[in-house]
Structure 1
Amino acid sequence: MDTLVNMIPANIFEALAKGSFDQVIVFSTFVGIAIILMEKDDREYLSNFFNVTSRMLCRLVGVVMGYAPIGVGVLIACTVGRYGENLVGFLGKFLVSVYICIIAMIIVYMILLTIFTKRNAFSTIKLCLPGMMTSFSTASSMATVPVNLECADALKVSRSISGFTVPLGAQVNKDGQGILIALTFVVASQCVGLDVSMDMLIKMVVLGLILTTGTGGMPGGSIVSLTIIVDTFGLPLEVVAIIAGVFTLVDTGATMMNCLGDLIGTTIVGDSENDVA
């Protein structure tokens, strides 16, 4: 209970100054809900204001991120200089862990298909392959939306359903990113010998769920979420720098899981609607 209560800021400006991202996210969520409940004119005014502010900050972040490779390169150089060849085994374990989780997630999808639909799980996954390959090669959920819509057509799901679920899933359904966030947290905690308690795990899961639904479907977007998670728990940011060196290798697999999850969810919803009809 204390973990959940501490995620609510007593002073939002203090939370911003200290970089308490979990409190900032919770406050922003409540502000968004409050705006929805306001009168139409006020709602549109505030929505426009925040949209313009968001675009301005995105431009600012874009300028900063232009120099990010230099900073990441320096952090990697310092870390490699300090730990040397020990990093090879560390990164190898991380990569293997990510893809073991991805395989486990595919098995979960197949189980869900078997439970909630009458389809053959292997045949369904086969029809999803074009979307999986596109997302794996582009590492972008948004770029895969047109291909996923065609896959949904091949799965015989109505466009009235897939036209809503696929674009929505590209923005808010981030199964693969959830895997990356959880594993990065575990890796960072092991690096500093942190004894992870149950309340920390609960906080990480809640914050991770919020972060996965709040990021865009563009390549490399997960790095920001990983940094927030690591920084929120006071863990070494060097871990993110190390992972950034191999991030493309895991981002492609994670994006593939995101898009496959969109198609599996779309298929389950489509079949349930047909059953009701």
Structure 2
Amino acid sequence: MKLLQNLLIICLMLLSSSTALAQKDSIALQRKARKMVRQGNELYQQKKYADASVSYRKALDKSSYYDKASYNLGNALYESKNFKEAAPQFELSAKTATDKSTKAEAYHNLGNSLMETKNYQGAVDAFKNSLRNNPNDDETRYNLAVAKDKLKKEKQKNKDDKNKDNKDKKDKDNKNKDKEKDKKEGDDDKKKKEGDDDKEKKDEKDKDKDGKGDKEQDKKQDPKKDDKKDQKQKPKPQQGKMSPQQIKQLLESLNNEEKKTQKKMNAKKAKGKKVKQEKDW
């Protein structure tokens, strides 16, 4: 029993010793954090906002819930126009702040950062929280009115854009429907035309077939008919028809023959006639 009591006393002593050391380390870290904040403030006054941001981050590394370090870091980032990184620092400071004045200022600066990033709904909420902690801040009230106006215009613009998108989509759908309708009608007309052409070709083919069949049938019934027709169409030679030159040559030939015949007859006649001789008196 006595041994157990001694062990319990030793444990309590060790626990108290570790707690004292932790508290000592915590106090040392807090001192270092405050020192880094002071350095950051000096750099901030010199408008060396980037260097000031480094000092404030070091202070937060020593004490992560040091609200002054987070608030001042937010201000340095805001002055550097790094609004997206500034907003969460002001939000952290507003949550960790113990007095309403600090909360109001943190929410006010948070609203300004969100306004710069065009997060108007978030800015409206931040300015409202700032006024809850400090209702008499006219600057915050004015910023809230501006944020509400921008939010209203943004919603109206989004509504108009949505209506425009819906209208464009509807017009596009109607246009596509018209195209499909025109295409369908064109395809139907094409099919109809092709059907008419096929029908016309078929009719012509049947007609040619029927005509050829009739001709062959007629020829089969009267085979001499086509032969007579062919003979009529074939030119016949004209008998006894002579050219003027041939007639002239023929007449000359007949005339010559007639002269020869007459000459022979005169010769024969002269030969049989007595010759009258003249007496020499």
Do these two structures clear the TM 0.5 threshold for a shared fold by scoring above it? no
Higher helix share: 2
TM-score between the two structures when normalised by the length of structure 1 = 0.23
Larger Rg: 2
